[in-house]
Each structure stands twice: as structure tokens, then as C-alpha cells.
Structure 1
Amino acid sequence: MADGDQQESPVMGPAVSETYGPEDLSRNPIFAGGFINFGHWQGIDLAGPVGEAERVRSQEDLYRHVLAAAEPPPSAAILEVGCGLGMGCALALREYGGAGATGMDIHPEQLRRARDTHAGLLRSEPERLRFVRGAAERMPFGAGEFDLVVSVEAAQHFPDVAAFAAETARVLRPGGRVAVASFFTVDGEPGRPAELAALLETFANGLDIARPVGALTDAMGAAGLTGVRAESMGRHVWPGWDAWLGRWWAPDTWPRNFLRAYERGILDYYLVLAERRG
């Protein structure tokens, strides 16, 4: 598989462009390891000090949890939507094998960093890894190219989850699966966006979009995907993320409000799974 960019440049929102653009977010110690996700902390002892090794493991374990739930076949062609630096693609190839992994991201700077980060693998196994520019709502691939579509902590940025679900159904082969891990509101109460904007800067500035998990599950069903289900895993995400943030942020600062929003029953972290009918 060769590298490539979508011919028509996808349109990014300004908050996404700024957050993932000039500065490499993965260089922030909060995202040690380069995965840029909140982590899955099940099995990590939070009673004692949480160090960088535990932080990196949490981010790897989030991908492991998603991939294990999706159960990719040994020869799977995998697409990651919102791949960032491609660390998840590399983990999938290393630990799950498969025919190959394609990382797609909307931000050209992220793709440049991904290609730099994995230059050795791209040279040694070009048929197994590629990075492509594209939007979740308009993927630059043919119908039925992939056995598995995954997206880890990117769907909160997608402006149109119905279009994402339709595109996912299109690029999946019959019998293929999709696994999405991200954070959503627990219900469709109209006051939820304002509540989250008051608590969390990323919702106030438009980087994260407040929408109920049902918006994604309904969209997947409408796109013809079957076996759609959403599993809460907030208990394995928010306490560990908050413990890690405690190294830099006081309890009354806005980044610590993710846990508060979860405890108030406003926000949760979900794994959403579905299949394309065979």
C-alpha cells in the first residue's frame, strides 16, 4: 500500500486545526507515548503514584480493549479513522497482525508526523502500512476495502456522525466490523451542551461536540449496520485520567472536570460496536 492524500482537501473546524496543528500535542507530557488519548486504566493500580509507564500502558490498553472487542480476523485490513500519529496502527500490526493498517486523519500535520514517526516501518513493510488524508464524513476509499474500521477518541470531533456511519458502512466488506471509542453525553437532554461548556474548555471552544451516544448508535443502524451496541467504560477511563492529571492540575481546574461530569451523570466514555451484514 502506498501513501496518499485525498485529492480534494477536507475541511477542518478551526478548533481541530489549531489543536492538532503547529504544535505536536503528543509532546505534552500529559500524552506521554504519543497516543493522545485518555487511556483505559483497568488493571493499573491507582492507589499509588501513577508514572509515565502506567500512562503509556493505559493508552496502549485502550487500543487493546477496542481491538479485542472487535475481534479482527488474522488477515484483516484495518482502517483507523482519526489516526493521529499512527501509534494505534502500529500497535494493531504488531499485536494483531493482519493484512495491513491504513491510518486516516484530516490534519496534514498529523499525517506528516505519523509518517516521520513510522518511517522505518513504512520503508520496511510499505505493503502493510499507509497514512491517508481524509475526513470521517467523506473517506477517500472504495466500497468494501476494509474488514475493520476503528476510531479511538476522535468521534467527539466529527461534525456529522450520520455521514461517518454511512461512510463506515460503505467501506466495510460484508461481515466487517466497526469499533468506536469516545466520549458522549449520556442522554439527549437539551441542556447537556451548556452544562459541558460550563465545565470543560474543550466543549466551550468547539473542539469537542456534546452529543448523546444514541446519536451514533442510531446513525449506525440507519446506515444498515447490525448488532449495534454501546458499552459504557467510563469507570475504566475517568478515574485513571483524573489521577494522571493530578500531577499537573489542581482539583478545581477545568481539566479535572471530566471526572466531575462523569460523576454528575452528564458525560461517559463508550465503546460502540457494529457489523456490516454478511
Structure 2
Amino acid sequence: MDHNHIPPTVRRTYGTDDLSTAPSFAGGFINFGDWQGIDLAAPTPEDRVRSQEQLYRRALRVFEEPRERTRLAEVGCGRGLGAALALREFRFASVTGVDIHPDQIERARAVNALALATYPDRLAYTLGSADELPFPDASLDGVFSVEAAQHFRELTSFARESARVLRSGGRLVVTTFFAAPGADIAERLKILLASFADGLDIPHTLGDFTTDLAAAGFTSVSVEPIGPDVWPGLDRYLADTVPAGHWTRNFLPAWRDGLLDYHLLTATR
């Protein structure tokens, strides 16, 4: 793939704008978080980091023992902190973070320089896209993606590529938010949320993605809606972090109105 053909909104958001510096995020992670067990009376930036780490842990726990023999790739790794956490806390055999944006790969290598030096043969960051993963056929035991798939222009190729690089019995784990089915849902999301209006987020539906996974050869597709652990906690943090009326505060009402939801999806090759 020619990495110069990154969608303009993605290039800007993760390039010069560096989304990880936005007030709604903290600590270099870029996800909405799993807020289970976090006191929401007055959430701190440290709580925000914890929520983002917890979302990674929730996804990574899906991969079964013996993890020390499990070779993983993260698709849409951003600044690479989640891939480093996966290796540090779960002791996988290897973790390779993949991102379409060269600025993010550069940041990942800089931010995680010590981890890369400590695990030179087990942690890596490389350019690649969801529709053209930089791995040989059947070379991985697991593929995971934490809150990146909403940016992929389409998910059919992601499903097909994940199936290609996974060995038989390998696992795919995806966390992200999906749009509800319906003729007017996409337009309503564009009205409420700037990330949909400018094309950064794509209103993929869960049903279309599970259909793509089945067509690619995945079995045992399991879907867990985790919106209650994501949206209320995120919104409580945003209430103290962004200006009143900021568009990000519309994620919670969009969820409550049934326009979108957050899911943890797993599938077996």
C-alpha cells in the first residue's frame, strides 16, 4: 500500500494535530476507556489513563494461555503504549504494533524506546494498513485492535487480511464503537458528532462486520456490548475537561438514543 494515501482527516488528526494531546485523552493512549471500578465523583487524569489501560487489558485477556508462545499484532497501534503494555503485563512471545500513519510509528518508537531496547526481538512497530497487513500468511497467533476500526474506510479487507495472517485457531479481538443499523443513523451521527461529520469515524455496523468475518472464514464470533462501562465514565471525565457544549459530550446521548454502542468482539480463525 502507498502510505501517502492516508485519508486527509486521519493524516491531520494523528499527524500535526497529534490527537493524544487532546484534553479528552491523557497519558499518550487514545481510547475512550473501560471505567469499571473507577470512582467517578471527580475523575483525575490518572483515572483517565487507568481507564485506557483497562480497555487494553479487557481485550488482551481474551488470548488464552500459554501466552508466552503467542505472537500478536496490534492494528492501529497509535503511539504504541498498548502494545508495550501487552508485552510487559501479559508476557506474550512477541507483539508488533502496526499503524498507517508514519508519524505515529515514529512516536511509538520514541515513546517506547526503553521497552524496544529491553525486548529487541519481541516488540516492534511498523508501517502497515488494515487492508494490507505486513505479515506472511498464517504467521500470527492473534490480532487485536483497540478503538481503531472506526477509522478504517471499510472492514471487509480488514477481516480478510486478519484471516490471512492468522494461523488456524488464531484469535481476532476488536474493541470499537459501531453504528446502529438504520437508514438515517449515519446522518444523525454526522449531526451530533464532528468525528463522523468530517469523515474521521465511519458508521460501520456490527452486523456488516460479523458478516465480513464469517465470509473471511472466522468462526465462533462473539460480541459483548460494553457501552455501560465506557460512555458514562467517559462523559463524566469530559464534563470536567472540555468546554460545556463540546461535541464530544454527544457520545453519551448518542448511545442512550441507540445510535451507536461500544463492543468487544472476538473471533476464531
Q: Structure 1 length as normaliser, TM-score?
A: 0.93
Q: What secondary structure sits across from 1:120 in the alignment?
A: helix
Q: Aligned partners of 2:122 and 2:166: how far apart in 1?
A: 18
Which region of structure 1 is more displaced relative to structure 2, 201-210 or 212-221?
212-221
- Give the equivalent residue in structure 2 for 1:23: 17
The one-character-per-residue Cα deviations of 1:69-128 (angstroms, maximum 9, x if unpaired) are 333632111100000011110110011101110000000000000000111222232101
Q: Aligned partners of 2:179 and 2:85: how far apart in 1?
A: 29
Pick the aligned partner of 1:106 from 94, 100, 113. Answer: 100
Q: What secondary structure sits across from 1:259 in the alignment?
A: helix
* Structure 1 consecutive aligned stretches of length 4 or more whose deviation exceeds 6 Å: none
Q: What secondary structure sits across from 2:240 in the alignment?
A: coil
Instruction: Give 1:33 shift.
Output: 1.3
The one-character-per-residue Cα deviations of 1:33-60 (angstroms, maximum 9, x if unpaired) are 11110000011122x1000111110000
Pick the aligned partner of 2:134 from 126, 131, 140. Answer: 140
Identical pairs, percent: 49
Give the count of matched residue pairs: 268
Q: What secondary structure sits across from 2:248 in the alignment?
A: helix
Q: In the alignment, is residue 275 of structure 1 matched against residue 268 of structure 2?
A: yes
Q: In the alignment, is residue 116 of structure 1 matched against residue 118 of structure 2?
A: no
Name stretches of at least 5 consecutive residues in structure 1 with no aligned partner. Answer: 1-5
Instruction: Give 1:27 shift.
Output: 2.4
Instruction: Give 1:10 shift.
Output: 6.1
Instruction: Give 1:9 shift.
Output: 3.0
Contact 2:99–2:127 (8 Å) recurs in 1:
yes
- Give the equivalent residue in structure 1 for 2:38: 44
Name stretches of at least 5 consecutive residues in structure 2 with no aligned partner. Answer: none
Instruction: Give 1:212 shift.
Output: 1.0
Amino acid across the alignment from 2:57? R
- Give the equivalent residue in structure 1 for 2:89: 95
Q: What secondary structure sits across from 2:62 in the alignment?
A: helix
Q: What secondary structure sits across from 1:196 in the alignment?
A: helix
Instruction: Give 1:249 shift.
Output: 2.9
1:165-180 superposed matches below 5 A: 165-180=159-174
Q: Structure 2 length as normaliser, TM-score?
A: 0.96
Q: Aligned partners of 1:166 and 1:135: how far apart in 2?
A: 13
Instruction: Give 1:23 shift.
Output: 3.1
Contact 1:76–1:100 (8 Å) recurs in 2:
yes
Q: Aligned partners of 1:142 and 1:174: how far apart in 2?
A: 14
Q: Aligned partners of 2:24 and 2:86: how far apart in 1?
A: 23
